[in-house]
Structures are given as structure tokens and as C-alpha cells.
Amino acid sequence: MPYLFLTPWLLGAIGLTVAPMVVSLYLSFTDYDLFNEPHWVGFDNYAKLFGDDPRYLDSVVVTLKYVVWSVPSKLLLALAVALLLNSLRGKGQAFFRSAFYAPSLLGASVGLALAWRAIFDTWVDTPDYALITIVLLSAWQFGAPMVIFLAGLQQIPRDLFDAAAVDGAGWWRRLWSITLPMLSPVLFFNLVLETIHAFQAFTQAFVVSGGRGGPADSTLFYTLYLYERGFTEFRMGYASAMAWVLLVAIAVVTAVLFRTSRYWVFYGDER
């Protein structure tokens, strides 16, 4: 009976996720343009990625810069606002929580990206600042991690802060010795989630750059270049290879985060 109830989900997962992934893995070893039969080329697509495509390497660098800049800035802003809201303790907390969360409801919408492009029109057309505008757009949508941080903060026992205050610990000392260690599982969760989302960012770069990754490829995100190869130049085999490289890269980064978490994430049951 449980499997019977799970059947709709299983069919959707197989038909919309597993099967397309298997097909894309096969296509990554072929020369395929959507109009002719796939032609097997082995590892040629992967060899071209790293040895004969300078724009591919540029897209990797741009994406890494975006991840390194946007994830910490977004999490720091989300944590700062969560600490502020947590200190209100019912004095308008619900209103401000909703107000700060509102930008995240827009998600990676085209309208929001167009408005952002209009606001930072001068920066968008300057190679040195174009990527910064997209980082700012990402950081501005800090609502989701903020709500998760706020929920984590409200689960920390108040007795710990009271005891520390009696011992003479100041605000910074309580933050470093109590808040951050107790909040580390939530921080780790947000870090992993936002890192994965940052690697997959597409809409903001596409709209802000006009779909070109400009100026001078300064906003050529990995996903944007993948889209260009697959759906503009119809090199679907090449784009599939790019997609699988991205999947492996995200898996490796996530594994590294999990591996290092043992040194700074505390769940309360450690000796």
C-alpha cells in the first residue's frame, strides 16, 4: 500500500528527473544538434571543455567569483537581520520578518532582474562592476536563510545567555561562545543550500547581461554559457557534457563542506 501511494511521485521522479539525466549522460558523449541523429564522439566534448574553449574557462572563473562573493555576503546579512529580529521579542517581529522576507518571494524573476538592471544601469555596462550588481541582487534576497536563522536562534535556551551574562560575558562573547556554536547546524544547512543555488544561478545573469554574459564576458555564468551552447548554437551534446561537469563539481564541493563540518558544526551530543 505505501508503494501504491508513492507511485505518482515515483513516476514523476523517473520520468522527469532520472530518465532525462540518463539521456543527457549519453548525449554528453555525442555530437548532437537536436535535428540529426546523435553521433558518438567519446570523450571529445570533455576534452574540448578543458583544452580548446577559453570561454568555458572564463565562465568557470566568473561562476566561482560569484559563489565566493554572494554566498558569504548573503549569509552574513541574513544572520545580522535574524539577530536583530530575535532581539525584538514580539515587538513588531512578525511585521519586520515578513517585510525582510518579501524580496525572496520574487525569487529569480525576470521582472526583478529587469528592475535591477534599470537601477544599476551604469554599473551593468562596466566590466569591473557588472558582476557586483548580480552579487548585490543575490544578497538582497536574503529572506529564506534569514527565516531559518531566526528559527534556529529561537531554539537556543535562554538559560545559557543568562548564565553567561551573570559571569560577565558581553554581547560579542555570548555571540562567539554561545550563539554561533549552537547555531552551527543551521549555518551549515544554509551554507550548503546557498552554495548549490549559487552554482546554478542563471536568470539574474541572463536578464542583467541581456543574455550575452557581457560586458566582456564579465557576467558569463556557467549556466548562461551552457544555455548558449545548447539552445543558441544547438550543440546539445557539448551542453550535456557541461551539465555533467557542473553536477560533479557541485557534488565535490558539497562533499568537502560535509567533510569539514566535523570541525566546526556542533549538534550538542559531542564530548
Tell me the pLDDT tens digit for each residue of 2-11: 889 999 999 9
Return the pLDDT at 107: 60
Matching residue, cell 508513492: 6
Closest C-alpha among 211, 210, 237, 208 to residue 225: 211
Cross-strand pairs, 39: 31
| List of residues 6+ apart from 149 with CB closer than 8 A | 78, 79, 82, 83, 183, 186, 187, 190
List of the chain residues with pLDDT < 70: 89-91, 106-111, 268-271
pTM summary value: 0.88
pLDDT of residue 237: 94
**The predicted structure's pLDDT at residue 88:** 79
- pLDDT given for residue 26 in this prediction: 95
Domain 53-263 classification at class level: mainly alpha
Each domain of the chain, given as residue ranges in start order, spans 53-263
Give 22-40 pLDDT, tens digit per residue. 999 999 999 998 888 999 9
